[in-house]
Amino acid sequence: MSRQHELTQEDRSKLGAPARDEAMRDSRTEASYWLSRELSLFGDVMEQGGAAALVWTSADALVVSRRDTRLPYFKQSVAKMEREYSTPVFVRESGGTAVRVGPGVVNVALVYCHPRGCMEAFDVGYGELLRLVTYGLSDLGLCLELGAVDGAYCDGAHNLVSRGLKIAGTAQRRSARKFGATLVHGSLLVSVDLPSMIAQLNDFYTTAGAPTQYLASACTTVERELNLVASSDAGTNNLVGAVQSRIQACAKRWTMIRKFDQDCA
């Protein structure tokens, strides 16, 4: 991904970061591929109109905002994430703070242009993401809403929330060029070790020079909400696959409806 943060070889030597092993390269390539796809679709819709959606999972990675790269010890923290957690760090082109993606997280990205080139209200994209994910999970009995959650990572008014607990982080990027476009994306926690994830996020920010006190107790997962305990990796994969398939089907319908509405506008 051309805009992602990269440590130079000199940086790695100074910071004691090891050479990447094969697993690290695979993780970085896989996550960066999907982030690049999101930006590519955003550019296409901005220039040509239309709508598109992506639903994806990846190997473990931290995805941070451009603002995070300005923290005083950002490079040192990136090196520590790679050295101690075997987790690469990528920079996304939307707001918010760091999130962790991985095999137990289903990521959803919606990209669309605006009617007659007029930018829609900021909340519209988050509302569409909420409705799509809620509809995709409706037969599982989950009921989601938008809201802030005290103590949650990457907190804001547009978290996806279940029973007062954060189950997905969201962020958005907008452009008024040509057709005008919005990219709104979210990371749905399906089957995740929350204490481990939150501890890593806190460590990332503490090392980077901006200590945080995120709480695992402020978050939940689809697995927890369904009172499921995966007894094996296969069980976890089955749940993630089922959630991803449901949301992909909804995303396909959403894209068709969005394009139809734009054609009729």
Backbone angle region of 98, left / alpha / beta, with phi > 0 → left and psi within -120 to 50 → alpha: beta
Cβ neighbourhood burial of 121 (10 Å; 0-12, 13-18, 19+): exposed
Q: Is 154 a catalytic residue?
A: yes
Nearest by Cα to 216 from 160, 121, 265, 151: 151
Q: Which of 113, 154, 219, 250 is catalytic?
A: 154
Tokens of 72: 């005083």
Long-range contact pairs involving 141-149 (C-beta distance under 8 Å, separation at least 24): 141/226, 142/222, 142/225, 142/226, 144/168, 149/218, 149/219
Q: What's the rounded Cα separation, in Å, for the pair 219 and 100?
A: 13
Which whole-number Å values give the CA distances from 1 to 71, 119, 123, 186, 227, in the listed order?
21, 28, 28, 19, 38
Tell the residue number behind the tokens 């949301």, with chain if given. Answer: 247
3-state secondary structure 85-151: HCCCEEEECCCCCCEEECCCEEEEEEEEECHHHCCCCHHHHHHHHHHHHHHHHHHHCCCCEEECCCC
Tokens of 232: 């094996």
- Which residues are the active-site residues? 154
